[in-house]
Amino acid sequence: MINISGYWLRPEDAEKLNVSGMQKEIADQMLAMPSSYSYSTVSELLFELSFRENTIESARALINSGARFATFSKTYGNEAYWRVSPEGALELRYRVSPSNAIKDIFERGSLYAFECATAIVIIFYMALIKTIGGQTFDQHYDRIILYDWHYEKLPIYTDKGNDYLPGDCLYFKNPEFDQERPQWRGENAIYLGHNQYAAHGLGILSAEAIIEKLNKLRKPNAQISAYLMSQVTRVDIPTIFQIIR
């Protein structure tokens, strides 16, 4: 369901939106969801649809960038833009354009390695750059540290449930992971739609294929399969819409 300032959007209303095919597909899924997606204006809804499409594009681009999966201790990046801290964080260098630094990850992926939660934040940053432009992004995100779920003024939240949409981040949990490879205790992935997920370190796969891969990374004699958790992580669009106005 979609609510705009107290008005429930009808399917015939959605048909009138000037959006791309992907955005129309997302809007139709939102209308069919039992959850309510509330906005103050139509512009706010359009911002979310654009952001979600850009998230999907950015997730695919990161998978194809050549950036590698690595644990925090083995993180690395292009030193022209980033300093690697002892903890394995990528810290934006002084007087470097934040948007150009994020774009560099996608353009020179072979110079980077990081773990999957960091990858999700990078994807969300890139989606925002695509949505609002590099100049506006630089004005609001002048200090960036890429480390796990660390983010600057990017309102990310997690809710329980299965009402997820293309552009959301989901989590595959591996409860009996191999203790010698704790990085595979689970996998964050961006849902691309049609049972396709962008999972940093694994690729673009179906849910079943991700679970199969995680099951091969369990401890000896493990009995419990990896599974997709009933939770959704996403960017709070109404909040970010107010931040960048």
The DSSP H or E segment spanning 196 is strand 196-199
Token couple for 1: 């369901």
pTM (predicted TM-score)? 0.95
- DSSP classification of residue 40: S
Q: How far apart are CA 44 and CA 4, in angstroms?
A: 9
Neighbours of 206 (CB within 10 A): 12
Residue 27 CB contacts under 8 Å (≥ 6 apart), including other chains:
2, 14, 17, 19, 45, 49
Q: What is the pLDDT along the chain (245 residues), one digit of tens a residue?
A: 999 998 898 888 888 888 999 999 999 999 998 888 999 999 999 999 999 999 999 999 999 999 999 999 999 999 999 999 999 999 999 999 999 999 999 999 999 999 999 999 999 999 999 999 999 999 999 889 999 988 877 899 999 999 999 999 999 999 999 999 999 999 999 999 999 999 999 999 999 999 999 999 999 999 999 999 999 999 999 899 888 77
User: What are the tokens at 170?
Assistant: 């989901």
Whether the Cβ atoms of residue 53 and residue 190 lie closer than 8 Å to each other = no
Torsion of CA 56, 159, 202, 22, to 10 degrees: -20
Q: CA-CA distance, 105 to 196, in Å (whole number)? A: 23
